[in-house]
Every structure is written in structure tokens, then in C-alpha cells.
């Protein structure tokens, strides 16, 4: 939707989190006299009913389409859609169930190393609308796109990066198929002048790639290698010298909560992989760290995801201690009962979990927080879960020396 189309419309902002507040500030800047409504469940239980009578509803990503009244669906737009329709610069869009934040940050570093005026936006960076005021055709926007942002999007970025698709956010979508359709929007609206960098080793991603009109650049790799390959290809499209790309990748500092080395305390090495909110991420962490993992933290919020593959991988491992959080902890243990060589503990807080890790993990071994489940319930988000893990690992590690 072009900005001039909003001039004479009655506008409501649906959801007033980080993105909603940014949207309001932007609209007030360009339409200082316009009255703009805000609908949010923090303000009213009937916030969805209050949408009647508005011409345009700018929806925040976290609000699922499935809860909206049918009467307003044709009036919905998003901050992402408005940015895509009005941005004069190039957009590099990155999505995938896992790895999109790391890939986005890597691409941003590579472009900056190549002296390109780049901005990191979306899920990992700043909300985008207020950047439109100073945007120019020379600018490049490295946009981390969640499935929530991609849902209903009718325009795709100039360069799209599609990393992988696993079962996730099944509480937000009606089914897995709807989640896949959302991810597919990153490339389905591309033209022959655009580019799709995609993981050819992922069956679902490859199926989506067949439907695009864009020039296709296949990549392969496991976990962080896939992220690096994707970022490298983007750098090459911008004609950045290989030595600068290589140096940017070498100097890249891993993001927190992604197989983050916390340190070695009392002879035990601790890794914080709190962003591993699906089984595939935890399996990847075990593959990377190998047979030294003796203690693992698993479990969290239940999104009805299948843990069969995770159980198979854990049963093949040398893990001796399994520390389980509610509510998926019980589901996971139900599939691990055959692992007779392991102890298991059901816990309800992080300090108890870390104490158990110190008590039972051997020197020279690894304790891994990689829960294969979202954090909600016991924790505010994956960041709080990871931060508490690091806090108690350090506190208990030092106090017990």
C-alpha cells in the first residue's frame, strides 16, 4: 500500500508492541493531524470488536490471522507490506525456521565491509517504517522476516534467502501447511530480475524454489555453515571482493543463545542454546558438540511438535543426565524411557536445574541447554531462559569452588 493511499483513510493499528509503536510514530510524522486508533488486548478485552468502521488496519506480526473477524480481513495490511511497497532501495529478505538471525547479521556485516550503506531491520533489527523518511535508492535493507511478517505478503524482496522449514508456530497457524505457505511468500512474488538463495538440501524449501520466477542460487550446509554459505552468496551478488567477505565471516561474533559457550566451571563446559526451540535445532547442537555432552536440558512450552526424531538422536548419544522442564518435558521423557543409562529429573526452575547439572556432570564433559521447545510458561522468552542459565552457571560455579 502506497503512503498516499493512507492519507484519506480511517486507520487503526492492531497490536501495540515494538512494531505498533513504531507505526504510530511514523504515521503521526507524515499525517500530524490524523486521528489514528490503537487496538490492543492490554487496553480492552473487546479490542477485536473495536476494529469495525476502519478503512485500513495495520496488524502487528504477533496477532494471528485466524483470530480476526472475517469482516476485517480485506482491510488488513502490515508494516512489512507498507515498507515493501514504498522502499526506494534494495531489500534482502531472510527467512527460515532456524538460522535467520545469524544469517541476517552475517549479511549485514559483509555488506558493511563492502562499503554498502546497509541497514539491519525486521525481527533482529529496528522496526522499518521510520527509516522510510530518509531512504534512498542506494540503501540496502537486510530484513529478517519471520513467518508472521510473511503471512499475507504480496511482494517479495529483490534478494530472498530461504534457509529451512521445520514444524514451528503450530499454535499460531491453523496447520503446518499454512506455515509453509507463509514462508513461501519470500519468493513467490519475485520476478526474473530477482534472486533466490535457497537450501537445496531441504525438501520443502526445494519444492517452493520450483515455483519462483527468480534466478535460483542453491546452497547446502549444516547449521552455521549453511548461514555462512547464504551470506557469502549475497556478498557475491553485490560484487564484494572474496577477501572482504571471508574476513567479515571470520570476524563475525556469534549471536547470544545460539550454541553460545558460557565457559568452563568446576571442570564442566556449559553451552547456552536457548534459541533451540524445535527438535531439529537440538539435534544439530548434539551433532556439533559430539559425544562429550553428558547433561542436557530439555522441555518447555507445548506446540504439539513431534519429538520422535529428537528421542532417536538422544538415545544414540552418551548423555547420562536429562533435566526436563514442563510441559513438553514429560512428552520427551515418555519417548526416552528406553535410555536406561541416563538419570532424569523433572524441574520447575532454572536454579534447581543448574544445581543438578553441577551435581551429576563429570569433569571434562559438557552440559547443554538446548530445550527443543519454546520457553513460554516458566520463562518470558528464550532470552530470559538463556540469561538465567548463564547467571546460575556462573554464580554456582564460582561459589562452589
Domain membership flag for residue 4: no
Say whether pTM exceeds 0.85.
Answer: yes
Q: Are residues 383 and 302 in the same domain?
A: yes
Residue whose cell numbers read 498516499: 4
Closest CA to 383 of 369, 397, 368: 369
All three cell numbers of 158, joined, read 529483490
The reply to whether 14 and 72 lie within a common domain is: yes
Of 227, 250, 273, the position where a domain reaches its end is: 250
From residue 216, alpha-carbon distances to 184, 200, 209, 351 in Å are 14, 10, 8, 48
Asked if residue 222 and residue 337 are part of one domain, the reply reads: no
Q: What is the pLDDT of residue 230?
A: 98
Per-residue model confidence as pLDDT tens digits over 261-282: 999 999 999 999 999 999 999 9
Does the residue 23 lie in any domain? yes
Strand partners, 13: 38, 58
Domain that holds residue 143: 87-250
Verify that 301 and 352 share a domain, yes or no.
yes
Q: In what order do the strands lie in the sheet with 343-346?
A: 260-265, 268-272, 366-369, 293-298, 321-324, 343-346
CATH code of 68's domain: 3.40.50.720
Instruction: For residues 269 and 361, state if they share a domain.
Output: yes
The answer to whether residues 154 and 300 belong to one domain is: no
Number of domains in the chain: 3
The Cβ-side half-sphere exposure at 240, using a 13 Å CA radius, reads: 26
Both 96 and 206 in one domain: the answer is yes
Look at residue 162 and tell me if it is in a domain: yes
Place of cell 492492531: 14
Asked which of 250, 269, 301 is the last residue of a domain, the reply is 250
Q: What is the pLDDT of residue 71?
A: 93
Given a cut of 70, the residues of the chain with pLDDT beneath it are 399-401
Q: Is 208 a domain residue?
A: yes
Q: What tens digit of pLDDT does each residue of 126-168 get?
A: 889 999 999 999 999 999 999 999 999 999 999 999 999 999 9
Cα–Cα distances in angstroms (integers) from residue 348 to residues 68, 139, 325, 359, in the given order: 35, 48, 6, 17
Does 53 reside within a domain? yes
Of 250, 275, 302, the residue that ends a domain is 250
Q: Is the same domain home to 239 and 288?
A: no
* Whether residue 336 is found in the same domain as residue 210: no
Q: Residue 174: which CATH number?
A: 3.40.1190.10
- Please tell me whether residues 64 and 94 are part of one structural domain: no
Predicted pLDDT of residue 347:
98
Q: Is residue 153 part of a domain?
A: yes
Distance CA(50)–CA(97), nearest Å, equals 33
What is the structure's pLDDT at 338?
74
Residues forming beta bridges with residue 216, ordered by sequence position: 196
Q: What per-residue confidence (pLDDT) applies to 401?
A: 43
| 97 and 72 share one domain | no
Whether residue 347 sits in one domain with residue 222:
no
In a domain, 1, yes or no: no
Residue 281's nearest CA partner among 197, 167, 176, 388 is 167
Amino acid at each position: 500500500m502506497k503512503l498516499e493511499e493512507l492519507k484519506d483513510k480511517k486507520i487503526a493499528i492492531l497490536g501495540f508492541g515494538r512494531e505498533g509503536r513504531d507505526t504510530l510514530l511514523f504515521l503521526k510524522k507524515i499525517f500530524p493531524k490524523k486521528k489514528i486508533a490503537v487496538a490492543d488486548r492490554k487496553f480492552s478485552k473487546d479490542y477485536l470488536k473495536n476494529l469495525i468502521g476502519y478503512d485500513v488496519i495495520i496488524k502487528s506480526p504477533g496477532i494471528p490471522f485466524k483470530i480476526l473477524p472475517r469482516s476485517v480481513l480485506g482491510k488488513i495490511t502490515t508494516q512489512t507490506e507498507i515498507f515493501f511497497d514504498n522502499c526506494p532501495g534494495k531489500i534482502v529478505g531472510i527467512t527460515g525456521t532456524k538460522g535467520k538471525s545469524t544469517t541476517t547479521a552475517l549479511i549485514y556485516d559483509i555488506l558493511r565491509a563492502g562499503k554498502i550503506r546497509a541497514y539491519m531491520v525486521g525481527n533482529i533489527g529496528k522496526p522499518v517504517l521510520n527509516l522510510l523518511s530518509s531512504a534512498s535508492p542506494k540503501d540496502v535493507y537486510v530484513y529478517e522476516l519471520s513467518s508472521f511478517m510473511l503471512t499475507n505478503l504480496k511482494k517479495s524482496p529483490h534478494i530472498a534467502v530461504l534457509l529451512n522449514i521445520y514444524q514451528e508456530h503450530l499454535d499460531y497457524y491453523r496447520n503446518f501447511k499454512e506455515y509453509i505457505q507463509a514462508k513461501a511468500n519470500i519468493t513467490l512474488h519475485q520476478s526474473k530480475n530477482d534472486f533466490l538463495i535457497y537450501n537445496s538440501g531441504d525438501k520443502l524449501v526445494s519444492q517452493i524454489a520450483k515455483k519462483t520466477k527468480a534466478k535460483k542460487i542453491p546452497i547446502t550446509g549444516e547449521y552455521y555453515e549453511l548461514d555462512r554459505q547464504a551470506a557469502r552468496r549475497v556478498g557475491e551478488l553485490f560484487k564484494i571482493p572474496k577477501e572482504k567477505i571471508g574476513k567479515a565471516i571470520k570476524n563475525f561474533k556469534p549471536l547470544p543463545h545460539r550454541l553460545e559457550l558460557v565457559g568452563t566451571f568446576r571442570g564442566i563446559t556449559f553451552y547456552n542454546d536457548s534459541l533451540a526451540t524445535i527438535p531439529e535445532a537440538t539435534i544439530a547442537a548434539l551433532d556439533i558438540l559430539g559425544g562429550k555432552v553428558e547433561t542436557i536440558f530439555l522441555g518447555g512450552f507445548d506446540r504439539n511438535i513431534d519429538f520422535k526424531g529428537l528421542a532417536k538422536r538422544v538415545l544414540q548419544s552418551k548423555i547420562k543426565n536429562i533435566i526436563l522442564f514442563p510441559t513438553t518435558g514429560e512428552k520427551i521423557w515418555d519417548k526416552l524411557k528406553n535410555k536406561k543409562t541416563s538419570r532424569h529429573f523433572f524441574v520447575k526452575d532454572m536454579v534447581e536445574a543448574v544445581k543438578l547439572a553441577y551435581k551429576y556432570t563429570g569433569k571434562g564433559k559438557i552440559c547443554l541447554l538446548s530445550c527443543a521447545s519454546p520457553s513460554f510458561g516458566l520463562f518470558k522468552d528464550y532470552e530470559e531462559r538463556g540469561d538465567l542459565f548463564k547467571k546460575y552457571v556462573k554464580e554456582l560455579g564460582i561459589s562452589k569452588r
